[in-house]
Amino acid sequence: MPIRIDYRTRRDCNERRDRAFDEQIDACTGAYMDWNFGDPSHMEDTILPDSGLTTVKVVGIYNSKFPWA
């Protein structure tokens, strides 16, 4: 098997990654906004500000269903 020399620079790799992400960011943003603000059912267990607790939001960009949902 011949040895393949990779002439790409870090900048080239970063630019390709950024361009690929740019194609997905609108869909990811829209899905997050729909999830966070569209359906209030996930806000059933609202934590009071002075309780000392915090909420954790899980955003799945590859799956639309979660086992606990």
> pLDDT tens for residues 11-20?
999 999 999 8
Res. 7: pLDDT tops 80: yes
pLDDT of residue 25: 87
Among residues 25, 46, 29, 47, the alpha carbon closest in space to that of 38 is found at 29
The predicted model gives 25-48 an average pLDDT of 72
Inform me whether the pLDDT recorded for 32 exceeds 90.
Answer: no
Q: How far is CA 68 from CA 26, 35, 42, 63, in A?
A: 26, 15, 12, 13
pTM of the entire predicted model: 0.40
Tokens of 55: 């909420």
Report the share of the chain in percent with pLDDT over 90.
14
